[in-house]
Amino acid sequence: MKVFNRIKFMSWRLGERLWVKPLLFCLLSIGAVFIAKTADYLGLDRNIPRVNAASVETLLAILAASMLVIATFAVASMVSAYASASSAATPRSFTLIIADDVSQNALSTFIGSFIYSIVALTAAKNGFFQETGLATLFVLTVFVFGAVIITFVRWVDKIARLGRLGASVEKVEAATAAAMKHRRFGSGVGGLPSARQHSQGQAVYATTVGYVQHVDVDALQAWAVKTNTRVAVATLPGAFAVPGRALAYVEFDAASMAELDLNAVANAFVIGTDRVFEDDPRFGLVTLSEIAGRALSPAVNDPGTAITIVGSLVRLFVSWNDETEGPKATKYDHVDVPLLSTHDLFDDAFTAIARDGAGTVEVMLRLQKALNVLSALGNPALCEAALKHSRLALARAERKMDLPEDLALVREVASFSRVTRPNRPSTVIDT
């Protein structure tokens, strides 16, 4: 399981690399040529129609001449779309945009088809195939032509949308929703949800500087069971790790302290230079907030995008609240994980929008209505956080808005903020 978790995490990172799928398609295309050759050894000569070698070579020559041009055109179009999407949204969304399956599959198909045509044409001109293999190669070539046409049609529609701001927002929202679902109970990385700030036991410190991207709880559980200890995770994905900051605390019998290899605990934390979306829902909320902040800048002046982001945030928090089950039983009974703080989630989501949109009446109205909806969901933590941010947003609007009528509208919508709720203790470690 430990190896599987590492492979799964690395597969997420490889999905962000443009060279991975094209390489796989190139290998498949070369393999397809040798598959056609194996047909010569199956004894199917009588059942296979004869195919003229010149016709196959002509098809392959056309494919080879066109695919390199199309692949070059595809790369240029994709780079342009990526640059447009990053500048219109936020650079933090780039990893999601570049991992688009349709675009990667299109580029991989074009490059793979080019490699296939070159290898097959070279083999055919040198008499590598007999009649059965030549007929099989003809069928494969027709199939490749069909795949290229279908892929190109799908890709043209996709590339026209890929660089648009709406597509970036959808991708970030979907990634954030997946991360929030993954972390709904406890932390999603596994373990027993814990509400206490862990400071007991032997601290395990980071040895490198960067963001925690993944916590391998399988490895922590296996190590804790083996050593008869208990591990309390202190730094969750998304936190900035530095030497001297504790990643976890190990509670153990003093007699066995000398026998413990704490490096195994530190190695369970994957630290990189950038934050990633998969295990870090707060990063998704920050990214959405950044897109709204850019839209509200004087250079862009696009309050409609900020309003769209507010709607996305409401959907995310409603989905977060809809999970009504209690914490599920976990097999990681030797690992404690701190809970996510609703207040921190709201800070990541709404602070920048309230600050940058304080002088825009339509944004403030939509923000107050959104917070009103979230406060009425029946979740005490959501209600408390929504009321807090409603009051803060109103205070910012009172400082920025010049027209009394606009401010009166915002105050009317924010009137629910006078309702008070008892304070709830914080149960998360700041990141």
Per-residue pLDDT 10s for the chain (431 aa) are: 455 555 555 665 565 666 777 778 788 888 888 787 787 777 666 666 777 888 888 888 988 888 888 888 888 877 887 777 777 778 788 778 777 777 778 888 888 888 888 888 888 888 787 778 888 888 888 888 888 888 888 888 777 777 678 888 998 999 999 888 877 644 445 555 555 555 678 889 988 899 998 888 888 888 888 888 889 898 889 999 998 889 999 887 665 565 677 888 888 898 988 898 888 999 999 999 999 999 998 888 899 999 999 999 999 999 888 764 445 556 778 888 888 888 999 999 999 999 999 999 999 999 999 999 998 888 888 999 999 999 999 999 999 998 999 999 999 888 755 444 444 433 334 44
Residue whose pair of structure tokens reads 């909806």 in the numeric block:
373
Task: Return the closest-CA partner of residue 154 out of 106, 85, 120, 111.
Answer: 106
CB atoms within 10 A of CB 164: 15
- Distance in angstroms (rounded) separating the CA atoms of residues 415 and 400: 19
pLDDT in the model for residue 283: 93
From residue 145, alpha-carbon distances to 52, 74, 139, 142 in Å are 18, 17, 10, 5
- Distance in angstroms (rounded) separating the CA atoms of residues 390 and 369: 9
The amino acid occupying position 293 is G
pLDDT in the model for residue 244: 84
Taking each helix axis from N to C terminus, what angle separates 165-182 and 53-88, rounded to the nearest 10 degrees?
80
From residue 117, alpha-carbon distances to 30, 39, 54 in Å are 9, 18, 14
Q: Count Cα neighbours of 201 within 13 Å in the Cβ-side half-sphere.
A: 23
pLDDT in the model for residue 360: 92
- Distance in angstroms (rounded) separating the CA atoms of residues 168 and 178: 16
- Is residue 246 within 8 Å of residue 356, measured between CB atoms? no
pLDDT in the model for residue 424: 41
Q: What is the largest CA-CA distance in the chain?
A: 90
pLDDT in the model for residue 421: 43
Torsion angle of alpha carbons 119, 124, 129, 132, nearest 10°? 100
* Vertex 146 angle, CA 140 and 150, to 5°: 145
Residue whose pair of structure tokens reads 């945009």 in the numeric block:
97
